[in-house]
């Protein structure tokens, strides 16, 4: 007799093992994207620096807990570098294009004033710079930096190539273009890491401006080779073929989608403008959504695709997306807190307060760090070939 082999981690399931622990699996990529986009939507609602810092903390926690060991999943620090650059550029531009100070502002320094022509009036180059102006620019840049980090978190946690398989057939070609554009950043991060590691093994100069040429050229060469391989693969698989669709069906699909998008835009305008007619609200949005669905169904008939081992959508996916969407909804409903706490004023200069309900909503999005199943390891452990014979079996053999 042989000992029972241990169960290998399931790629598609997350059922608990005999010890009560969840087995690792890959979360559905669209769940991470919905979670990240919902958190970015919540960020667009607030200008409170304490809440923005809390969002960055939540992103860092979730990424630390649920990122994989893939090379492209280690590039979140580069998004943080980009975020710091955005804040710095925003502050520098606010200092250069000064708008003047009031008697109540705190004066910091003054830059040389550059006179502008009459047709460029209204834009002031240089002049006195106040503390309030720099803080306002830093907070605005921090909000944009948080949005970029949300997109970086989605790129870090989800493989964008797996998300292409769940798109409707009518959006397949558009999805390929979006997937290629989204995967550029992870591929560049992977190329930079590989070149940096190679230079370090060769005892080359890895820091400073002198090393920039030795890093940029191999990275660009690698990007060109990836582009050529991608073009050859798409051409061999017949990408962009029209299939059996007639010219009439393609025109009808485009017309339905165009009218549907116009209906969605007019419906959004009617909901945001209180003076607009009622027909431009929910009715227009509902008609636009129906036209878009009809166009997608009609366009999906000309693209037939099969999926090998499709990603499941289970309780973990619903929980992760729900935590992100619920946090955005709580920040937009203004229930339990004053809306002015989301966008505190710089004038007069004071420390912002931390509203409890928005902070709890952002922390709720951080629950995805332990709700999502643990990621798959780099290599799955192989089952043992054959267990050692028991003493009773050895005695029986002798």
DSSP characters over 141-199: HHHHHHHHHHHHHHHHHS-HHHHGGGS-GGGHHHHHHHHHHHTHHHHHHHHHHHHHHHH
CA distances from 326 to 43, 53, 61, 361 (A): 13, 19, 19, 7
Helix (H) or strand (E) holding 56: helix 49-66
pLDDT number for residue 318:
92
70 part of a folded domain: yes
Share of the chain above pLDDT 70, in %: 69
23 part of a folded domain: no
What is the chain's percent helix, strand, coil content, to nearest 5?
Answer: 60, 5, 35
Give residue 146's domain range.
29-167+313-377
- pTM listed for this prediction: 0.68
Q: How high does pLDDT run on average in the chain?
A: 75
Confidence of residue 210 (pLDDT cuts 50, 70, 90): low
Q: Which two tokens stand for residue 114?
A: 């550059």
Which range has the top average pLDDT, 12-16, 50-54, 172-176?
Answer: 50-54
Rounded Cα–Cα distance for residues 303 and 238 (Å): 11
36 lies in the same domain as 141: yes
Rounded Cα–Cα distance for residues 393 and 370 (Å): 45
Averaged pLDDT, 323-340: 84
Summarised one tens digit per residue, pLDDT across range 276-321 is: 777 777 788 888 888 888 877 776 666 666 666 777 788 888 999 9
Q: Are 124 and 116 in contact (CB under 8 A)?
A: yes
331 lies in the same domain as 364: yes
273 part of a folded domain: yes
143 part of a folded domain: yes
Question: Residue written as tokens 């990007």?
Answer: 223
pLDDT number for residue 88:
92
Number of domains in the chain: 2
Q: Which two tokens stand for residue 187?
A: 């591929």
**Burial (Cβ within 10 Å: 0-12, 13-18, ≥19) of residue 153:** buried
161 lies in the same domain as 278: no
CB contact set of 251 (below 8 Å; sequence gap of 6+): none
* Cα three-residue angle 313-381-157, rounded to 5 degrees: 40
Confidence of residue 75 (pLDDT cuts 50, 70, 90): confident
191 part of a folded domain: no
284 lies in the same domain as 250: yes
Neighbouring C-beta atoms of residue 94, cutoff 10 Å: 19
Summarised one tens digit per residue, pLDDT across range 100-159 is: 677 677 777 777 777 777 766 666 777 777 888 888 889 999 999 999 999 889 888 887
Rounded Cα–Cα distance for residues 257 and 239 (Å): 21
293 lies in the same domain as 333: no
265 lies in the same domain as 363: no
**241 vs 273 pLDDT, higher one:** 273
7 part of a folded domain: no
278 lies in the same domain as 321: no
175 part of a folded domain: no
250 lies in the same domain as 328: no
Task: Pick the last residue of a domain from 302, 328, 345.
Answer: 302
255 lies in the same domain as 362: no
37 lies in the same domain as 128: yes
Q: Which two tokens stand for residue 382?
A: 């192989």
Summarised one tens digit per residue, pLDDT across range 360-395 is: 999 999 999 889 888 877 554 444 444 444 443 444
Half-sphere exposure of 65 (CA within 13 A, CB side): 15
pLDDT number for residue 304:
61
Helix (H) or strand (E) holding 258: helix 247-272
384 part of a folded domain: no
87 lies in the same domain as 124: yes
Rounded Cα–Cα distance for residues 249 and 245 (Å): 6
281 lies in the same domain as 322: no
Question: Residue written as tokens 């998008």?
Answer: 261
Task: Tell which residue, 364, 312, 375, 362, has the closest CA to residue 63.
Answer: 375
Q: Which two tokens stand for residue 207?
A: 């820091």
**59 vs 252 pLDDT, higher one:** 59
Task: Pick the last residue of a domain from 282, 302, 322.
Answer: 302
Lowest-pLDDT range, 136-145, 235-244, 266-275?
235-244
Does residue 230 carry a pLDDT above 60?
yes
Q: Which two tokens stand for residue 389?
A: 């014979």
* Cα three-residue angle 125-131-133, rounded to 5 degrees: 50
Q: Are 300 and 11 in contact (CB under 8 A)?
A: no
């Amino acid at each position: 007799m042989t000992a029972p082999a241990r169960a290998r981690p399931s790629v598609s399931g997350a059922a608990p093992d005999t010890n009560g622990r969840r087995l690792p699996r890959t979360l559905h990529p669209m769940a991470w994207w919905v979670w990240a986009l919902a958190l970015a939507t919540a960020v667009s609602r607030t200008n409170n620096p304490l809440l923005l810092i809390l969002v960055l903390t939540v992103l860092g926690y979730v990424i630390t807990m649920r990122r994989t060991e893939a090379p492209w999943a280690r590039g979140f620090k580069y998004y943080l570098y980009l975020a710091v650059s955005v804040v710095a550029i925003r502050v520098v531009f606010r200092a250069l294009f000064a708008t003047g100070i009031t008697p109540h502002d705190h004066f910091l320094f003054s830059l040389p004033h550059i006179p502008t022509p009459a047709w460029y009036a209204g834009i002031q180059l240089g002049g006195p710079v106040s503390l309030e102006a720099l803080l306002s620019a830093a907070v605005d840049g921090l909000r944009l930096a948080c949005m970029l980090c949300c997109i970086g978190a989605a790129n870090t946690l989800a493989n964008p190539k797996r998300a292409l398989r769940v798109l409707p057939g009518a959006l397949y070609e558009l999805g390929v273009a979006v997937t290629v554009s989204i995967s550029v950043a992870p591929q560049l991060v992977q190329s930079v890491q590989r070149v940096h590691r190679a230079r370090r093994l060769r005892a080359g100069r890895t820091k400073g401006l002198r090393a920039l040429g030795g890093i940029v050229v191999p990275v660009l060469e690698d990007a060109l080779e990836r582009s050529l391989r991608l073009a050859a693969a798409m051409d061999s698989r017949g990408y962009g073929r029209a299939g059996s669709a007639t010219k009439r069906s393609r025109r009808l699909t485009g017309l339905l989608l165009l009218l549907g998008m116009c209906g969605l835009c007019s419906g959004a305008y009617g909901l945001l403008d209180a003076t607009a007619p009622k027909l431009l609200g929910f009715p227009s949005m509902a008609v636009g959504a129906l036209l878009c669905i009809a166009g997608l169904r009609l366009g999906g008939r000309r693209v037939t695709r099969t999926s090998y081992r499709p990603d499941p959508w289970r309780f973990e996916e619903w929980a992760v997306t729900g935590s992100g969407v619920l946090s955005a909804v709580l920040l937009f409903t203004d229930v339990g807190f004053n809306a002015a706490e989301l966008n505190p004023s710089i004038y007069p200069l004071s420390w912002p307060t931390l509203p409890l309900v928005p902070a709890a909503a952002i922390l709720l999005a951080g629950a995805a760090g332990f709700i999502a199943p643990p990621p798959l390891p780099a290599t799955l452990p192989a089952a043992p070939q054959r267990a050692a014979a028991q003493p009773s079996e050895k005695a029986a053999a002798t």
